[in-house]
Amino acid sequence: MEFSQEIKREFDQIVARYPQGRQKSGLLPILHRVQEEYGWLSTEAMNAVAGYLQLNPIEVYEVASFYTMFHLRPVGKYVLEVCRTGPCCLVGAETLLQYLQRKLNIGIGETTPDGLFTLKTVECLASCGTGPVLQIGPEYLYHEQLTEQKLDQLIDSLRSKS
Amino acid sequence: MATKILLEHVGVEGIRAIDTYLAHGGYRSVGKALKEMSSDQLVEEVKTAGLRGRGGAGFPTGMKWSFLDKKSENPRYLVCNADESEPGTFKDRYLMERIPHLLIEGMITASYALGANTSYIYVRGEMMPVIRLLEKAIAEAYAKGYLGKNILGSGYNLDLYVQPGGGAYICGEETALLESLEGKRGNPRNKPPFPAVSGLYGCPTVINNVETIASVPWIVNNGGAAYASIGIGKSTGTKLISACGNIRQPGVYEIELGLPVEEFLYSDVYCGGIAEGRELKAVVPGGSSVPILPKELILKTAAGEPRLMSYESLAEGGFVSGSMLGSGGFIVFDDRACIVRNLWNFTRFYHHESCGQCSPCREGTGWMAKVLHRIEHGHGKMSDIDLLVDVAKHIEGKTICPLGDAAAWPVGSAIRHFRDEFEAHVKNPDSCLAKHLHGAYAHAASIM
Ligand SMILES: Cc1cc2nc3c(=O)[nH]c(=O)nc-3n(C[C@H](O)[C@H](O)[C@H](O)COP(=O)(O)O)c2cc1C
Ligand code: SF4
Ligand code: FES
């Protein structure tokens, strides 16, 4: 696969932040940009990134698989990432997660049949004072102090947008 | 009214924009430092201030700066640690969201003190909105001549960039952060060499927390001695505390170090007491990695002295009856919270986040999570409790980076102070206090 000229120009700007010969430092920002564009990181996309950065493909795979934000399989249009760490659980994250599974009728890690929602859990999002919390890429805006009503509204508004 | 060093202008309308920030005295420290002070003088000023690293370890910042290898021919780097992923900690995100220019200003002044001409702010990738805010603030600072070539005509050059992480708690550990910034997996490095000698790209590097760097402008403007006059003993200045859990007013508070814990917890200026009229049970005062203390030991030390919010007072009693100030992530548990369930959750977290390089950490955290899972879900044995203590002991101090310790300490302290609760779970699985929080047990397995 080939990236568009426009995206390649963005890659060039990213690589310019590092000293000569240290273009590998651009790998994470570039993977984020690619995921924003295509929704997930296919092997072809990772190979193309390797080509652009003059890396061995394995250097890209090992990084993409280390970091939890990168999706190595196709995901729904909206990936709902719910914090499941201790402080959020003290204020009800577990029951909300159950509610969300029932509401979407999928388990954690699954995607709804219409391809709209993937449900994931994540670790502490630095929002423990306003938990329970979830975020949705690629903007990764936070939805905080969640309640069942707020989740209903959020899901409805996302459904009506598509 | 407590002194505000970091949050003074946070409520000001439009403070995220550089013009408003300038109108409130912003970027003054850059002019003062670059035009009136040498880099050595700046390091001295920070030493005098007694500022200690706000990322968790509390290492004196001026001393860390003076370790930087200035004889090296290589470029020097300042890297800001904005990875903030320690459960219970949300102060850096708060600061960067509310007043992004304060961090940029601190980065410029600190970079000058270190003789760095390129600096990076490494922000965890999940905080994409914060990354956009910082990038905007940096562009404004370039446009006003606070970044780039020949800053304010001083001859000093600095380029500043924001780098996103990819979702990995371990990248908060400074050498894992450097690996990540080099485009690799976040595997912590063996030390020595320390980053001050061989850090980013093998060059001398200082890594500092967001709050540490954001404290520098005030120190430059007001002098190290003024900073040192705030606080108590070797805990100088102010500290951001992010308070969460079962309290009436969760949030980020700037306190003068030395404030009594009891006042912080019950005063309406801060936490406002326990939520829903419940009773206090326990506190984890410095982020998930530090020991938990029961009510009696968080309000008073074992010697009966009032416990204060300071590095020394929170640590008094060592790991037998004390804890740590850590990152300032203050997690409060009421009398309905289940210590076993919370410990299982934290241990599961460390297992998930272990980079896997050292067997004691990789295997030990998984083993402890499994044992805690079975105790919490009603299949535990009495001998499991001592088994946990034993596994924790075999992790502590035996790993490349302190994540192993961070996973072990909560286990040791929870069992030390709340053994009866673990025993009750073994004897009667229905005794778990937190059922109202997690509904059916069947579900719980899915959160693993
Ligand atoms: C597992 C682990 C996670 C850490 N996470 C963070 C973090 O998110 N933010 C941070 O500033 N320091 C973190 N630290 C501490 C850093 O390694 C380092 O000590 C700190 O950034 C130094 O800055 P300071 O001296 O200004 O505190 C972490 C340490 C460990 C072992
Ligand atoms: S202690 Fe754990 S996280 Fe740290 S290097 Fe070893 S395996 Fe990795
Ligand atoms: S525990 Fe959920 S944001 Fe920190």
Is A16 an 8 Å CB contact of chain B? no
Residue-level pLDDT at B431: 74
Residues 77-96 of B with CB under 8 A from A: 84-90, 92-93
CA B68 to chain A, closest CA, distance in angstroms equals 20
Structure ipTM over 0.85, yes or no: yes
Low-confidence ranges of chain B (pLDDT < 50): 440-448
Rounded to a whole number, what is the distance in angstroms from the first to the last CA of chain A? 27
* For ligand 2, mutation pick of B358, B367, B368, B394 (most atoms within 8 Å of CB): B358
* For ligand 2, mutation pick of B357, B359, B394, B405 (most atoms within 8 Å of CB): B357
* Residues pairing with B148 in the sheet: B158
Between CA B363 and CA A144, with CA B90 as vertex, the angle to 5 degrees is 100
Q: Quick one: which atom of ligand 1 is closest to the CA of B401?
A: 31
Residue-level pLDDT at B436: 57
Tokens of B12: 């000001």
Residue-level pLDDT at B70: 82
Residue-level pLDDT at B437: 57
Closest residue, chain A, to B248 (C-alpha): A129
Is B184 an 8 Å CB contact of chain A? yes
Residues 5-44 of B with CB under 8 A from A: none
* For ligand 2, mutation pick of B187, B351, B399, B405 (most atoms within 8 Å of CB): B399
CATH of the domain spanning A5-66:
1.10.10.1590
Query: Taking the CA of residue B84 as centre, how many other CA atoms within 13 Å lie in the half-sphere pointing to its CB?
Result: 28
**Domains of chain A by residue range:** 5-66, 78-161
Average per-residue pLDDT for chain A: 97
Q: What is the mean pLDDT of residues A40-60?
A: 98
* B313 phi/psi in degrees, rounded to 5: -65, -40
Residue-level pLDDT at B226: 98
Tokens of B148: 């780039």
How many CB atoms within 10 Å of residue B29? 24
Residue-level pLDDT at B441: 40
Is B338 an 8 Å CB contact of chain A? no
Is A62 an 8 Å CB contact of chain B? yes
Strand B118-123 to B77-82 pairing: parallel
- CA–CA distance, B299 with B277 (Å, rounded to integer): 18
CA B329 to chain A, closest CA, distance in angstroms equals 9
- CA–CA distance, B362 with B354 (Å, rounded to integer): 6
CATH of the domain spanning A78-161:
3.40.30.10
Q: Which of B182, B243, B349 lies nearest to residue A85, judging by beta carbons?
A: B349
Residue-level pLDDT at B364: 97
Q: Which of A29, A68, A70 lies nearest to residue B163, judging by beta carbons?
A: A29
Q: In this structure, what DSSP letter does residue B336 have?
A: T
Strand ranges for chain A from DSSP E: 78-83, 117-122, 134-136, 141-143
A5-66 against A78-161: fold identical: no
Tokens of B307: 């416990």
* Ligand 1 centroid distance, CA of B369 (Å): 24
Is B185 an 8 Å CB contact of chain A? yes
Is A145 an 8 Å CB contact of chain B? no
**pTM, entire model:** 0.96
